[in-house]
Structure formats: C-alpha cells, structure tokens
Amino acid sequence: MSKQKINKLIIGTNNKGKLREIRSLLPKNIKIYSTSGFNFRSPVENGKTFEENSFIKSKYFSKKTGLICLSDDSGLEIDILDKRPGIYSARWGGKNSDFRKAIKKVYRELNKKNKNWKNKKIKARFVCALTISFKDKKIAQSIGKVEGFISDKPMGKNGFGYDPIFIPKNKKKTFGQMKPSEKYKMDHRFFAFKKIKKFL
C-alpha cells in the first residue's frame, strides 16, 4: 500500500479549520472526502500521545468508509504549565471545543502559576501528528512542531483554535494575525506534511 500512489482519501477530522488547512497542503490530484459527508461521530480519543490519538482517528474513519484516511491530532504545549493543555487542547474548551473558553483557561492557569507571567517570555509550541492508514494498517506517520511564545492577550481573527495567542519564534504576529497563506508555510501541520508527503 505504501508504494502505491494515493489518488483518493478521507480527511479524518470534524474540525473545519484543520480540514481547510489540510486541503490546501494536499496534492491537487488527490480526490478528497471529508467526514461531513458521512453520518458518524468522531471516535473516543483515549491515547496518551498525539501520535496515538492521530492513529485512533485515522484507523476509525478508514474502517468506517473503506477509504485511506489521513488524520491529524494536534495541540498546544506550554512549558510553564508542564506542557499542558497538550493532547487535551480541544477539551479545554469544554464539550463543544469552544476555544474562547480554552484561551481563557490558558490565561487562568498562567495566572495561577505566576502572576507576573505577562512580563516573561512564556515558551510554547504547537505539535501536529499526522497518520495515514488503511483500516488497521498504519501506512505512515509524522510529527511537526513549531516553537514560539504565548501572547499576553488574544490578537487577530484569522486561523482557529489557539492561533490568536501563539507567536511563532522570530515573528512579531500571532498566527491569528497572519494571512492563512503565511501561516500555512510555517506552522506545525506544514512541517508534519513535509515529512509525510512522499507517501501521497
């Protein structure tokens, strides 16, 4: 399977922001299906790492549809918070993954840790694990990371998730302030794709 060129696949995510970005990174000759065209829920993500959760989703959607599946599991790690929220990034937003709530929780946790955190550089990174699988078989997996810092307030209305509070290293703007075309060339998903694209 890994030696054959993939000409169609399903993107295993119900997150519209991720779906948009992954579509933009995939080769144009691949026919892309999204989970919105099928009537089933997302699987329970009970892995302990981004890689495990990415494979859980990829395997699940592939088995459900009979298609090769590309799935992403990603999140924000903040060093001073012991790398939280990490694999629980979406869950910090509650049942509906409301990232406005999640961002408020980040700031609450930072205030608990250090009331003067706004005067410091709070190191953080976005992590993305991508998995391509066909039913139970893992074809390929990769990890991409981008290092940066947490901004002292949300800035920008572009992107999704924690983008408004993440400033990539050597940049002055948050991902939320960048145009998608700028962000897509430097973020964690882009670096994960660079490693996995030979299988596509």
Could you tell me which residues come within 8 angstroms of residue 106 by beta carbon, excluding any fewer than 6 positions away?
76, 78, 81, 85, 92, 150, 162, 165
Residue 72 annotated to the active site: no
**CA–CA separation, 143 vs 35, rounded Å?**
23
The beta strands (E) that lie in the chain are given as 8-11, 31-34, 69-78, 84-85, 123-134, 137-150, 166-168
Q: What angle do CA 103, 107, 110 make, to 5 degrees?
A: 135
Nearest Cα neighbor of 88 from 102, 70, 72, 108 is 102
Cis upstream peptide for 43 (omega within 30°): no
Catalytic residue among 73, 98, 136, 163: 73
DSSP-derived letter for residue 108 is H
Active site residues: 73
